[in-house]
Amino acid sequence: MPRGLSLRSKLVILSLIVEVVMLTLLVVNSVRLSQDSLLNQAQVRYTELNTLFNAALAAPLAQRDYATLHEILAESEHQDGIVYAVLVDNSGLIVASSGWEKGRALPTSMAATKFSHARTDQFDTSTQIMLAGQKYGTLYYGVSTRFLSEARSHLVQQSILIAGVEILLSTLLLAGLGYWLTRHLASLTRASDAFAQGQLEIRLPMRSNDEVGALTHAFNSMADAIAGQIGALTASTAQLHEEQARLIALLHAMKLGILFADTDNRIIYYNPAFQHIWRLPPDLSLHGKSPAEAIAQTGCMLADPNQLVSLMTASADSPEEHPATEIRLSDGRLLTRLSHPVYDATKKFIGHLWMFEDVTQEQQTAQQLVYLAERDSLTGLFNRHRLHEEMEKLLAEAERTGTQGALLFFDLDEFKYINDTFGHYAGDATLIRIATELSTLIRRNEVLARLGGDEFALLIPQISDLKQAEDLAERVVQAIARLPLIFEEQHLHVTISLGIALYPQHGTTIEGLIAHADTAMYQAKACGKNTWQVYRPELDMGKEMVARLTWNERLSHAFEKNLFRLHFQGVYHTADRTLSHLEALVRMIDEEKPGELVMPALFIPIAEKSGKILELDRWVINEAVTVLARHLKLRALAINLSGRSLADPSLPGYIQDTLVRHGVDPRRLLIEITETSAIGDLLDAGRFIEALHLTGCATCLDDFGTGFSSFAYLKYLKVDTLKIDGLFIRDLPNDPDNQLFVKSIADVARGMGKITVAEFVEDEATLELLNRFGVDLVQGYFLDRPIADHPALRGEAPMEKSA
């Protein structure tokens, strides 16, 4: 049956086919039954005719009354459908006939006795004429069977007519019934087509509770479910497209070169950064190519052309993660390459993700950081940290090979005079000249370092004997003594005192060698300066060494007796001169002179050399946090920590624990470190500042501007506040150079989002200039002096200087 027909048509056609078949069978059967009935009636008539013919003809034939026989046969013709009749006697002579031509031979087969045996339109038969049991002749006659055919045809015609009418009526009835049954199915079909075309809101009304009604309900439920799923799918698709667009935008914005290749090692995706890194034309398509083919089209030349191709070819065949690989380009750039296998949700390997990054700048920065971390910022010589590393190598190598080494310690004899007389610039210039001169005297394997201030050290890894170290010491002393210096048109000469400590004779540890070299240096000073001295433990201690030991004892005594005190000085807003916060300054009670205080300039250097400064820093921290916990109205308090504490990794944790223990907000504590100590060990300073920020404390770079390249270090030291060195503030109104420098510091700090503080403000004119330059905060004797019982601790506003 054709697929294009509707269900209604199929139902009608199938019903009609069934009905036609059944009617056909019915008509055929009816005709057969009617035919059988007619044949039975004809057979009965045939039997009656034989009896009638025998009764009518037997007597005249026995009497040979031929006229009567002719008359009887003539009367019987055309009656009861008789076509002809021929009477033959026993001798075979025709004695009478009717409807039969003379001379015509009789039918050859006259043996039929049943009408069903008739093969033409007439029935030919014969019957014996019997009388009293004796045969007198045979009657041959033919009966027309046309009535049977006519009856059959009439019956068939009537049956066909009735069947046709019935089929027509059935067709109309079935069409109506089919329409009535399938009219809702048509609505379902139209609704389904409309739904398929996107009319998701279409629904059908419920008109019945039968199967069609159930189907309508199922359609509406299905439509609701599909519409909901399509809505969710549409929202999900929109979200997916949005996320995909965001991902593509993110990948396009990345500076990291991204390339994805499938399992056939063919490129599926790459971002603009990949093209930029490899200098590929923007209009060049890489899709479908292998990574090696893509790189082959680059405008960059590899320092090792086979490196990348071999790496990428090896990685393409293996779903394994490969470590970072450095790729050096001929133009000097350095790239890093990472390869990660990518798996789908079923853990099936689907390709490799390549990531390329131009790390040239980062490498240069790292090299610069390494340089800054191990170099003195002023002279470019190695710093204390690098000296310690080299000494560790020296001691390990000397212990392994049994060789000797030497450590030379020296400082300038009258460096304080140059600083006080000609200023810090002159002092810095002197140190730079000395470093330059000494660099020409040492060999490649010898290490020259500046330890801080005017202290230097020279490490000699291998010496054959003591004389080698003494000869080098003599050359160093003489070279410095001959060095000409001119400041403010005055010719100066500086001298040094140098001490020598040998390994392993004078010490087998870093601390031991440094201590004995430092002692030897003071022994040289005791010998009149401008000389050198090998460490000699038997020599009497000079006054300076005795003084140092005395101060060590005094510091230990101060810790035992709790003789340290905090004094407080206000830090004010420059614009309106209102109090911003206090700075805590440590003092020591002088037991030898009751009522007097020892200033930090006297005991801090000794504490730093002896290592007691770490204990003092922790005392200051604990005392300051206690003050903050006691005086809740105090906005903030600043404290100073030494450079030695920067290398103490446990100190930030100690600060945090102290703040938590006293319940003090970390934002109320400001930690100040000096610029010289910070840049002396840049890595430790950077880690220390970052750790303080994680704790929540603010940080300040004190004495800013004293370094040779102060601005450069702001990139690496993420402090919140810059405190300008008082050297630039003291005579600010009368020094145009200092004015320019201070204004520059204020401008740079403001651009970097940092707060500026000026110390040593001692007059109105200086304060006005600082306000005009945009310096945020000020402190100094002009505003108030450090005292133990500051008004701000009592919640009182300090006396403000009027503008």
Three-state secondary structure call for residue 92: coil
Walk me through the domains of the chain, giving residue ranges and CATH numbers.
Answer: 7-158 (3.30.450.20), 254-358 (3.30.450.20), 379-539 (3.30.70.270), 549-794 (3.20.20.450)
Task: Give the whole-angstrom CA distance, residue 527 versus residue 497.
Answer: 9
**So what's the pLDDT on residue 542?**
46
**So what's the pLDDT on residue 275?**
84
Is beta strand 755-758 parallel, antiparallel or unpaired with respect to 777-778?
Answer: parallel
Res 507 pLDDT > 60: yes
**So what's the pLDDT on residue 546?**
47
**So what's the pLDDT on residue 17?**
81
SS3 letters for 756-802?
EEECCCCCHHHHHHHHHHCCCEECCCCCCCCECCCHHHHCCCCCCCC
Distance from chain centroid for Cα 214: 49
Query: Is it true that the peptide bond before 291 is cis, omega within 30 degrees of 0?
Result: no
**So what's the pLDDT on residue 184?**
66
Which amino acid belongs to residue 477?
Answer: V
* 79/232: higher pLDDT: 232
**So what's the pLDDT on residue 178?**
66
Between 134-138, 363-367, 429-433, the lowest mean confidence (pLDDT) is in 363-367
Res 110 pLDDT > 60: no
**So what's the pLDDT on residue 596?**
84
Give the pLDDT confidence of 437-485 residue by residue, as tens digits: 999 988 888 999 998 888 999 999 888 888 999 999 999 999 998 888 8
Give the pLDDT confidence of 41-78 residue by residue, as tens digits: 777 777 877 888 888 888 888 888 888 888 888 887 76
Helices (H), 383-508: 384-401, 415-422, 424-439, 466-481
**So what's the pLDDT on residue 569?**
95
* 789/196: higher pLDDT: 789
Res 112 pLDDT > 60: no
* 630/183: higher pLDDT: 630
Res 597 pLDDT > 70: yes
Three-state secondary structure call for residue 573: strand
* Summary mean pLDDT of the chain: 82
Three-state secondary structure call for residue 500: strand
Res 778 pLDDT > 80: yes
Res 11 pLDDT > 60: yes
Average pLDDT over residues 383-389: 89
HSE-up of 35 (CA within 13 Å, CB side)? 15
Give the pLDDT confidence of 298-349 residue by residue, as tens digits: 766 777 766 666 666 555 556 777 777 888 887 778 888 888 888 888 888 8
